[in-house]
Structure 1
């Protein structure tokens, strides 16, 4: 389950919804990771662009890995502006056993940071500035890829 939202995420509503899914499937683990925009370097928030077809394909590959272990991933991400101290990214792995969830969530979040087609901008003094220093090249991207 991949959900995209304009602006900040309602993490309480997401967790409630994902917890219900875990309960209905009789899973023993509902492990959630939430990314929160930090107040640093004079920014008032972050802004996000994404390329949905590649993001959905990336997410489905992870969903297949989870399914092979009897688990399920849920993920939500913001599009547009997210103020400091609000959430822009939430992910959960729902699993019959905690070990699967604990092992997979770290791999998922690290791969997300490195390979998801999401572009981050700093919001500073009313401007949207591309965060080049905190960006990663996506494998297979580029004119000659």
Structure 2
């Protein structure tokens, strides 16, 4: 499952979709909106996405992860629109036979998604707003 949505993410559904009876580990990353950034109070975030391209890019990331680690299941959901502090912005879940692969694959997927998927974030503060670039590109083995 790859889902870009304006509605709140059903975290349990993401976990259930990724889960497998053959898995010894299910790893879940839940990204939430924090109430501060760079010493300023965050009032809300606005996420925008080029949805078709984002889904295609996430699919490529999952395909790559599936070749690197023995994934038995996976699911990704990302919110767009206006989100307030405390709300869930992204959930990545992966299932694998062992915990090490599960941790590594989950981290790879979220880090690569943040670096490559066309999903943009604007932080709105009490005294202004700022578009935030995705996490800087990183070397991934």
TM above 0.5, yes or no, is yes
Secondary structure in structure 2 of the residue aligned to 1:108? helix
Per the normalisation by structure 2, the TM-score is 0.78
Q: Deviations over 1:75-115 (max 9, x none)?
A: 10001011101110110111122221122222222212221
Partner of 1:142: none
From 19, 27, 48, the equivalent of 1:22 is: 19
Distance 2:51 2:90 in 1: 15
TM-score, structure 1 as length reference: 0.76
* Structure 1 unpaired stretches of 5+: 140-145
- Deviation (angstroms), 1:50: 0.3
Match of 1:45 in 2: 44
Higher helix share: 1
CA distance in 2, matches of 1:39, 1:121: 13
2:27 touches 2:103 (CA, 8 Å); kept in 1? Answer: yes
Q: Size of the alignment, in residue pairs?
A: 132
Do 1:48 and 1:79's aligned partners in 2 also have CA atoms closer than 8 Å? yes
Local SS of the residue matching 1:44:
strand
Question: Matched residue of 2:42: which SS?
Answer: coil
Residues 1:81 and 1:121: Cα distance change in structure 2 (over 3 Å): same
SS of alignment partner, residue 81 of structure 1: strand
1:135 corresponding residue in structure 2: 133
SS at structure 1 position matched to 2:41: coil
